A and B are shown apart, each in its own frame.
Chain A
Amino acid sequence: MNVEKHLEEISAKLAKRVDTKSCFACGTCVAACPISRLTGPETYHPRRVVKATLEGEAATLLAEPTLWLCTSCHACLEHCPQKVPVSELIKDLQNLASSMGITPEDIVAEVENILTTGWALAPSEQANKKRSELGLPPIPIDNHGAKDLQKIAKATNLQERLEKVKQRKAEEEQALSVTEEGGGMS
C-alpha cells in the first residue's frame, strides 16, 4: 500500500473542493466539536488533524482509535471561518485507515450486512410483528439491491478494504496466539 500516494490524492481532492491550506489555526473547529468538549482536546482535537495533514504527517493519525470518534455532525465544517471541510478530511483519513485494514468492528459488521441484505437493518420477524400491531404490511424482501451493491463493492475499493480489515484481524490474532504459545514454552 502506498500511503503517500493516497495522501497526495486526498490533498488533491480536497484542494479541488476547497482549499485546506487556508486553515489559519484559529481552533474554532475544536470549540465547535461536541466530542472534543466531552473527551477533552488532548484526546480528540480536529484542528490537529488538519495540521498533521498540512504538514504531511497524516499517516501518523491512521492507527489512532480516536480518529473514529468523529460523530459526523459537521459542526467543525460549518463553523470554520475559512470553510475548511474538517469532517470531510477526517472521513477521507478514515477511508485511508480502512485501506490499511483499520476500521471499528461495528462499522465493518454493518457494512457487511448492507452488502448481504441490501440494507443497514434487514427486515426481521420482530420488526414485522411490531408493524402488524400498527396495521402496516410486512417489509418487502428484495435481493436485487444486495446483488447490485456487491457488484459496486467489487468495482470500487470497498470489497478490497473489507478484505484488508479481515486479513489484518487474522494476522493480529495469529500474532497473539504465537506470543501466547511462546510464553507457554519458555
Chain B
Amino acid sequence: MSNSSWALYMGCVIPNRLPYMEVAVRETLQYFEIDAHDIDGFSCCPNPLTLPHIDHHAALVISARNLAVAEKQGMDILTPCNGCFEMLKGSAVCLHDDKELREEVNTILAQTGHEYKGTVKVKHFIQLLFEDIGFGTIAESVIYPLKDLTVAVHVGCHILRPSNLLNVDDAQRPTILHQLVRALGAKTVQFPDEMDCCGYGTRPADRDLALKMTGIKLENMKRAGAEALVLICPACTLQFDLMQRLALRDVEDKTPLPVFYYPELLNLAVGTPPQKLGFEQHRVKVDPVLAKLL
C-alpha cells in the first residue's frame, strides 16, 4: 500500500460530460478508504490530443504547472482519465529525469508564481485498483458476483503507451482489465483489433474516420460473444457510448452494445445501490444487462 495522500485530478470530460463516472470513482474511493482529496488550482492537463500538437513544449509547461500545484500540497496525483494520465505522467517522468528540461520549464513557470521540483508521482485510478488495493481484496469484497456476464474490454491507448513513460501494463498484450473484470466474477472475450484505438484521437481531423474505427470495433466485440463492453477511459466512452448509434450506421449488425465503466460494475458487485450510480445517464440503454445482474 502506498503512503501517499492523493490529489484527485478529475479532468474535464468526466465532470462535464460523464458525471456518472465521477460518482463511481468517488464511491470506490470511499468504499476502499483511499486518502484522496479535491484540491484547488488545477487547470487543463492539457488534452494530449490537441494542445501538444500545436506546441508540445507549452503543453509540458502547462502540465508541470499542475504537477507543481499538487507538489505544493505535498500530494501525488490520482486521475481516472487516460488522457490526463498520459499527459501528466509523461510530463512527470520527463521532468524527473531531465534536470535541464526542468530548469527550462521553471523559467517559464516562474511567471505564474509556480516552481516544480520534480517530486510528484502520477497514478491512474485503475492502477490504484490493482496495485494498491489488489485483485485479491477486490475479489474478496464481491458480494454480488457478476456471473453469467460475458464482456469485451477496451483498455484505451493512453494508459499504456508510450510504455517507456507510462509503464502500467504490457503495452501490446495488457491483462489488467481482463483480470479486474474476472475478479468480479464476469467472463471476458478476446476479439480481433482489441488493441486498436477507439477512434477518438482522429476526431478533430476526420470525424467519419473516427466513427468507422468505433463501428468496426463494436462489430468485432459482438461477434466474439460480448453482451457488454467494459472500459476505463472517458474519451473511449464518448466514442463507444455517446457516438454508438452513429458508429453503427455503416456496419451490418446494428444491435446496441451496452457500455460500462469498470468502477460501475465494481460498485454493483460490492453492493452499492444501483440507483446511486446514474445508469440512466448512459446513452446506450444498459437495462438488459442490469436486469440480468440484479
Contact = CB atoms under 8 A, between A and B. Distances in A.
Interface of A: 34-35, 38-39, 65, 68-75, 77-79, 85, 87-88, 91-92, 94-95, 98, 103-104, 106-108, 110-111, 114, 118-124, 127, 130-131, 133-136, 139-140, 142, 144-146, 148-149, 151-153, 155-158, 161-162
Given A70-B202, A74-B162, A136-B22, A110 B50 contact: yes
A120 to B, nearest CB: 4
A71 B44 contact: no
Main secondary structure of the interface of B (DSSP, over half): helix
B256 interface: no
Which of B23, B46, B48 gathers the greatest number of chain A CB atoms within 10 Å?
B46
Contact of B209 (A35, A108, A151, A153): A35
B284 interface: no
Contacts, number: 191
Contacts of B136: none
Nearest to A79: B172
Contacts of B99: none
B254 interface: no
Main secondary structure of the interface of A (DSSP, over half): helix
Contacts of A131: 15, 19, 22
Contact of B195 (A65, A75, A122, A162): A75
What are the 7 A-B residue pairs with the smallest beta carbon separation, nearest first? A145-B43, A71-B201, A74-B161, A156-B58, A158-B58, A73-B197, A148-B112
Given A121-B13, A134-B19, A152-B58, 12 more contacts: A34-B193, A35-B209, A68-B53, A71-B213, A78-B161, A85-B162, A91-B56, A114-B50, A118-B43, A136-B15, A148-B112, A149-B46
Contacts of A162: 54
Interface residues of B, number: 64
B12 A120 contact: yes
A18 to B, nearest CB: 9
B205 interface: yes
B58 to A, nearest CB: 4
A142 B48 CA distance: 22
A127 B197 contact: no
Contacts of B109: 152
B167 interface: no
